[in-house]
A and B are shown apart, each in its own frame.
Chain A
């Protein structure tokens, strides 16, 4: 069985939570006791109300009170073919950082557009974020088609507008489906009202969409998370580097280069769950043993000698500022890429990106919450990395405020 991670985004009131509720409801993924509770809650709001499926994902009291999504909610459903992890992300601009969080490690973006409103600022922002995050596939669900009499012309015009807008974003793949989340039409079940639409329903789309295997086909990258040294009588000299193979493949006998020390050595042994294996592929948790005794610790990166990453202590990146407090010049930061951490400062802000047009402003000194900037970061140690477009695992990082410990920014290199 396969695993598909996707996120949903859209304008406030575009019916995102309703869509997810509908998807779960019509695919029989909601238990009866939960449906009972939802029905009770819906009735409490208005006597004749139908079940409000949005209540399913708005799990916090503040969200239910305000009727909006503040933070990402994770939902799950399963078919015979796939397990789905859904990140339902907030639409409000003020919760952009939560949207970024939910979207970061997904394979598919579902962006809702209200058929009555067409493309809005939110659509643009969510699309640009999807582009920055390198989401492999964007699906536009044109929702509330019932309120536009299921008019094909409305759908086609939104499709045309979106493709024109998205053209410079470099999104890898874009698809469109017209739906009504409220009535459930084209979500799981087809409807006669959409006689002009012969393509897949949302559910069928999810079942059949290709799940990209980006990491498997990428260059080999391994990072040490933890050094296992039992130091017992029997395992006196045991020294294993535990971590996940971030991308590519690794084989016993491979010549590997270790960063940041820039030393060449050989993979002597690969262990997985207490058995020796000949090779491992992307994503597998393994323990590596090397033929030389080198200065290796948490955060050290191993690569194949003929597949060198970039190494530098100055990095150009696009960051999203996530702290309530604006960036202060000279602020002491920590740069974290997977398990690698180094002290860092933002040396210069080359420009703020207008998240609705992708235009860049002049150099600036300030970054505020939810703003995207092109920056130059200086780190205290040499970082080995790839550009994010080349490798999502080694091109992504977060910045931590050394003083408050908060994650203040997320960034992609290049």
Chain B
């Protein structure tokens, strides 16, 4: 078997284990490339049957419209149930304080919405598209990652995970985060997208966009949530997104990639990592991701 076949088989195996072991699983779907791959894998794992789980999106309110439209269209096309819960509603209901600053982040706030949603539907497993190559704390996480009632990850209490034997046994109130494409890298994802001819939202490909060029050299999309100040350098550039997170904390990269082939070529040549190029939230501190995961984040 080719290496992509092996990665695909591993991911499908993991998804079927979720279906076999849990009563109320969910697949977290954002309209980003990784979760679009998860849907493609789920189709391969379960068709001609229905998915044994709904698709769930935690909408931060700062998402790109292209990703949201794509999300709705794909869910409709495959005829699977989509549940959307909004961070805005959580902020209102729980009287939380919205993100502040120039690029207000709802990264911390979306954990509340996620945990509320898990509780509302009593989800016992949430499948996500996180990959170990993204970040060094993620490189340490198991494929079946058990979370306590507060959604917290305890890196010191991880269950041993041997061979391809997955232990998803939990008590009521706990849940498991499952990462079927843990062992895929950014390049693997794109090679798979190419091989399987998977359609993606347009913002992954080059387009002209108005951006603020930050002093650190990042290109931040201008939008209703970002305050433009007189000293800001606003530029128009041909850009694309390597990851599709919140508009307020995901930077675009300059690119001339029109096709998946162009993107693969670009990734092979680039010297900067996916999160390093695009995420403001990870650069806050050395253990930023570890801390967010301990708090219930993905």
- Does B185 have its Cβ within 8 Å of any Cβ on chain A? yes
CA distance A334 to B287 in the complex (A): 36
Most buried by B among A100, A336, A392, A407: A407
- Does B2 have its Cβ within 8 Å of any Cβ on chain A? yes
Contact of A285 with B6 in the complex, beta carbons under 8 Å = no
Contact of A59 with B183 in the complex, beta carbons under 8 Å = no
Q: Quick one: which of B3, B8, B163, B185 contacts A1, CB cutoff 8 A? A: B3
Most buried by A among B138, B140, B170, B286: B140
CB-CB contacts of A26-62 with B at 8 A, as 1s and 0s?
A: 0000011110010001000000000000001111111
Q: Quick one: which of A32, A70, A97 contacts B160, CB cutoff 8 A? A: A97
- Does B169 have its Cβ within 8 Å of any Cβ on chain A? yes
- Does B136 have its Cβ within 8 Å of any Cβ on chain A? yes
Q: Quick one: which of A59, A71, A105 contacts B163, CB cutoff 8 A? A: A105
The contact size tier of chain A is 35 or more
Which one, B14-22, B29-37, B64-72, is touching chain A?
B14-22
CA distance A201 to B130 in the complex (A): 34
CA distance A111 to B227 in the complex (A): 55
Contact of B140 with A60 in the complex, beta carbons under 8 Å = yes
Given contact pairs A32-B272, A243-B16, A274-B47, A398 touches B183 in the complex (Cβ within 8 A): no
Say how far B125's CB is from chain A's closest CB, in angstroms: 13
Say how far A397's CB is from chain B's closest CB, in angstroms: 7
Contact of A400 with B287 in the complex, beta carbons under 8 Å = no
CA distance A338 to B259 in the complex (A): 40
Q: Quick one: which of A61, A83, A100, A405 contacts B162, CB cutoff 8 A? A: A100
Contact of B162 with A396 in the complex, beta carbons under 8 Å = yes
- Does A75 have its Cβ within 8 Å of any Cβ on chain B? yes
Closest chain A residue, CB of each to CB of B174:
A405
Q: Which residues of B contact A57 (CB under 8 A)?
A: 136, 139
Q: Quick one: which of A31, A100, A104, A285 contacts B276, CB cutoff 8 A? A: A31
Contact of A406 with B48 in the complex, beta carbons under 8 Å = no
The contact size tier of chain B is 35 or more
- Does A226 have its Cβ within 8 Å of any Cβ on chain B? yes
- Does B159 have its Cβ within 8 Å of any Cβ on chain A? yes
- Does B171 have its Cβ within 8 Å of any Cβ on chain A? yes
Q: Which residues of B contact A273 (CB under 8 A)?
A: 44, 47
CB-CB contacts of B36-70 with A at 8 A, as 1s and 0s?
A: 00000000111111101000000000000000000
- Does B115 have its Cβ within 8 Å of any Cβ on chain A? no
Contact of A1 with B2 in the complex, beta carbons under 8 Å = yes
Q: Which residues of B contact A105 (CB under 8 A)?
A: 162-164
- Does B254 have its Cβ within 8 Å of any Cβ on chain A? no
Given contact pairs A3-B6, A71-B155, A74-B139, A33 touches B162 in the complex (Cβ within 8 A): no
Closest chain B residue, CB of each to CB of A101:
B160
- Does B188 have its Cβ within 8 Å of any Cβ on chain A? yes
Given contact pairs A283-B9, A338-B165, A405-B170, A59 touches B136 in the complex (Cβ within 8 A): yes
CA distance A350 to B140 in the complex (A): 35
Q: Which residues of A contact B50 (CB under 8 A)?
A: 230
- Does A292 have its Cβ within 8 Å of any Cβ on chain B? no
- Does B234 have its Cβ within 8 Å of any Cβ on chain A? no
9 more CB-based (< 8 A) A-B contacts, given A101-B161, A396-B162:
A74-B132, A225-B19, A226-B20, A228-B48, A228-B49, A283-B1, A285-B8, A338-B165, A407-B167
Closest 5 CB pairs of A and B: A59-B136, A33-B276, A31-B273, A3-B3, A225-B16
